[in-house]
Amino acid sequence: MKILKIDHLGIAVNSIDGGKEFWTDVLGLEFEGAETVEAQKVTTAFFPVGESEVELLESTSPDGPVAKFIEKRGQGFQHVAFRVANIDEALAELKEMGVQLIDKEPRIGAGGAKIAFLHPKATGGVLVELCERS
């Protein structure tokens, strides 16, 4: 598996509008826009930082994964996403190594990226996302 870089850091927030003030007004990051991913019950907002990004995640449903995360742990760091050269090969390699996967097949995430999550039980408690962008 070839990891190219940290693609983004996911931050769970109650409100993107409330959350983005810190990232834009205090840190001076540029707001790239928001996108709703219905299949994941989330609205995302990206803030570029060099070759990586900060992603704010706001749940669109009380039973969505981000809402459940905030209910358990509060707002804050939710996941790290690594850009990979080939997500299908990466998942096959991880499966062969016995790594517990949330997604056995890639799905489409924000910006049309192919994404898949690894289970936190297999990563020392950190939700890890793999991401392949065209």
CATH code for the domain in which residue 68 is found: 3.10.180.10
Angle at 78 between CA 98 and CA 10, to 5 degrees: 105
Which residues span the domain enclosing 120? Answer: 3-132
Determine the pLDDT at residue 134. Answer: 84
CA distance 112 to 134: 9
Residues in the chain: 134
Its pTM surpasses 0.75: yes
Per-residue confidence band for 14, with pLDDT thresholds at 50, 70 and 90: very high
Catalogue the E-assigned strands of the chain.
3-12, 34-37, 42-49, 52-59, 76-84, 107-108, 114-118, 128-132
Q: Strand 3-12 and strand 76-84: pairing?
A: antiparallel
Tally of domains in the chain: 1
What residues form DSSP beta bridges with 76?
12
Residue 80 and residue 34 in contact, taking contact as beta carbons nearer than 8 Å = no
Share of the chain above pLDDT 90, in %: 96
Mean pLDDT over all residues of the chain? 96
* Closest C-alpha to 103, from 120, 88, 116: 116
pLDDT tens-digit profile of 41-94?
999 999 999 999 999 999 999 999 999 999 999 999 999 999 999 999 999 999
CA distance 63 to 121: 21
Tell me the C-alpha to C-alpha distance, in Å, between residue 113 and each of 73, 95, 121.
27, 21, 24
